């Protein structure tokens, strides 16, 4: 029997109207009824709705029943003189990849986003988890508007892969040299910068003088240029396996490669917060949706944010260019090819029905047909070079990684340094910096994530991390 799939409309039809409840029902059905008959499941759900007390201790239905028994939350009325922006009662339909492994909070956030009156279409990627406003892994197409927290705090966060004409055995035979190169040519977190600054043409951009708010951010952007953030950002050496007849005119086999993940640092975070605050004053949404406040693209604030977002994306690219150039120079090698792709961004695109839209990909990567990208796993599991298949259902998108299965705080509670060291040793990986909040066990299985999105991307190469550098913050 095929896996059961229930859509929001089917659940609403039997009487579930509350947005959070619909998301919870979808998640619980995926957990406990995935091989059941649809009509029987709908019948038991309808009975639970009518008589929740009867099911409050049923292991399969208790979460739904107990939610039904809770008194509804009341939302505050807007301040006098301030108009309320209402959400649509029914969310627009959207596709979910890997719904069985996505937490209810992320589904609830996506449902809320799909009720925005400016949203046209959406998709939720297999690596999804909850975030601020739009969930990580959320993709929404919006008409004539841009949502700063639909883009995210780390604007233009990206992956960059440099591949060298060297065998991967050098990573083991000259490990101390490789570690020194990583330590000397990377900086992470809030307080660790290079004494000798690097210049880049991105700092000469007119936006720094044309947009008043950006003037005050330039000095910090210069200070952090060529560095990486904390959290899940990394620079790592590893082994790239390419098949015979690959796309890169190289013999099939294994190559030494450098992979980095980071974004626009404080520069992007300040832009995101500043324009979200403006959007909240312009767009008075209910409390549960306030972080999805948008700016109309034909307003001064909307135009400013668009220019600032694109500048932050180019600044993120500049950081990777500097990191990779410095490390390649230290190696005394030139890459035979480089691949980059970014997430946490908004693009002007045409939908499959011809409508023009602003497509937000927060923690999701573009997967337009034939376009290359990198989808990393964790520090003990591989990442993949991929090409997009151009699937319109996913809005030409795919996951941006494996995705967290637990928060950083939970990972710290659950795993010790000993657990982390054992996992790294087993995988043959050495970690410089990092902590238990980034333990590989806190992430979803990248193989399952890739299986969920086989309709979205095609794998062209496999990267195995070997020496990983992260923040010690």
- The CATH number for 272's domain is 3.90.1860.10
Predicted pLDDT at 75? 41
Residue after which a domain boundary falls, among 57, 73, 89: 73
Structural domain count, the chain: 2
Evaluate whether residue 143 is within a structural domain. Answer: no
Across the chain, mean pLDDT equals 91
Angstrom distance (rounded) from CA 274 to CA 279: 9
Give yes or no for residue 455 having a pLDDT over 90: yes
Residue after which a domain boundary falls, among 46, 73, 100: 73
Burial class (CB in 10 A: 0-12, 13-18, 19+), 371: middle
Same domain, 60 and 202: no
Same domain, 271 and 394: yes
Report residue 473's pLDDT band, with 50, 70 and 90 as the boundaries.
low
Evaluate whether residue 371 is within a structural domain. Answer: yes
Evaluate whether residue 354 is within a structural domain. Answer: yes
Predicted pLDDT at 278? 96
Report residue 20's pLDDT band, with 50, 70 and 90 as the boundaries.
confident
Average pLDDT over residues 426-432: 96
Same domain, 33 and 165: no
Same domain, 50 and 179: no
Predicted pLDDT at 18? 75
Average pLDDT over residues 306-314: 98
Same domain, 173 and 307: yes
More confident residue, 3 or 371: 371
Same domain, 61 and 172: no
Report residue 82's pLDDT band, with 50, 70 and 90 as the boundaries.
very low
Q: Which domain holds residue 67?
A: 1-73
Evaluate whether residue 54 is within a structural domain. Answer: yes
Same domain, 266 and 361: yes
Using a pLDDT cut of 70, give the percent of the chain over it: 96
Report residue 78's pLDDT band, with 50, 70 and 90 as the boundaries.
very low
Evaluate whether residue 365 is within a structural domain. Answer: yes
Same domain, 63 and 181: no
Same domain, 349 and 241: yes
Evaluate whether residue 124 is within a structural domain. Answer: no
Same domain, 201 and 326: yes
Evaluate whether residue 104 is within a structural domain. Answer: no
Give yes or no for residue 227 having a pLDDT over 70: yes
Average pLDDT over residues 255-273: 97
Using a pLDDT cut of 90, give the percent of the chain over it: 74
Same domain, 39 and 166: no
Residue after which a domain boundary falls, among 13, 48, 73: 73
Give residue 373's Cα distance to chain centre.
Answer: 14
Average pLDDT over residues 448-452: 96
Evaluate whether residue 32 is within a structural domain. Answer: yes
């Amino acid at each position: 029997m095929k896996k059961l799939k229930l859509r929001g409309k089917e659940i609403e039809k039997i009487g579930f109207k509350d947005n959070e409840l619909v998301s919870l029902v979808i998640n619980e059905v995926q957990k406990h009824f995935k091989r059941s008959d649809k009509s029987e499941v709908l019948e038991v759900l309808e009975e639970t709705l009518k008589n929740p007390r009867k099911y409050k201790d049923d292991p399969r239905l208790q979460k739904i029943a107990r939610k039904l028994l809770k008194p509804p939350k009341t939302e505050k009325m807007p301040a006098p003189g301030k108009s309320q922006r209402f959400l649509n009662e029914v969310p627009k339909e959207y596709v979910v990849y890997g719904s069985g492994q996505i937490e209810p909070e992320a589904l609830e956030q996506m449902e809320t986003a799909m009720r925005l009156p400016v949203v046209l279409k959406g998709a939720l990627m297999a690596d999804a988890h909850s975030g601020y406003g739009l969930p990580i892994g959320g993709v929404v197409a919006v008409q004539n508007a841009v949502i700063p927290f639909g883009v995210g705090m780390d604007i233009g966060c990206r992956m960059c892969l440099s591949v060298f004409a060297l065998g991967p055995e050098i990573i083991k035979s000259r490990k101390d040299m490789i570690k020194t190169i990583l330590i000397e040519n990377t900086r992470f977190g809030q307080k660790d910068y290079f004494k000798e600054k690097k210049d880049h043409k991105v700092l000469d951009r007119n936006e720094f003088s044309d947009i008043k708010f950006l003037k005050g951010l330039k000095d910090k952007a210069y200070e952090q240029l060529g560095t990486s953030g904390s959290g899940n950002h990394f620079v790592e050496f590893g082994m790239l396996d390419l098949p015979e007849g690959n796309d890169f005119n190289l013999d099939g086999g294994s190559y030494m490669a450098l992979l980095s993940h980071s974004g626009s640092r404080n520069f992007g975070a300040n832009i995101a917060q500043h324009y979200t605050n403006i959007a909240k004053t312009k767009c008075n949404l209910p409390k549960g949706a306030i972080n999805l406040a948008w700016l109309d693209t034909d307003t001064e604030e909307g135009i400013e944010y668009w220019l600032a977002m694109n500048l932050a994306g180019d600044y993120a690219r500049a950081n990777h260019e500097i990191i990779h150039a410095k490390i390649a120079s230290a190696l005394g090698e030139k890459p035979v090819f480089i691949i980059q792709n970014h997430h946490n961004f908004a693009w002007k695109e045409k939908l499959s029905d011809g409508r023009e839209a602003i497509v937000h990909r927060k923690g999701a990567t573009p997967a337009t047909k034939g376009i290359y990208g990198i989808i990393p796993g964790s520090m003990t599991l591989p990442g993949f070079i991929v090409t997009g298949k151009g699937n319109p259902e996913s809005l030409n998108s795919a996951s941006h990684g494996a995705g967290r299965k637990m928060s950083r705080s939970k990972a710290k509670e659950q795993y010790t340094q000993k657990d982390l060291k054992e996992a790294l040793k087993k995988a043959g990986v050495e970690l410089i910096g990092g902590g238990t909040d980034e333990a590989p066990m806190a992430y979803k299985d990248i193989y399952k994530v890739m299986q969920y999105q086989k309709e979205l991307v095609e794998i062209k190469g496999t990267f195995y991390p070997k020496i990983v550098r992260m923040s010690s913050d």
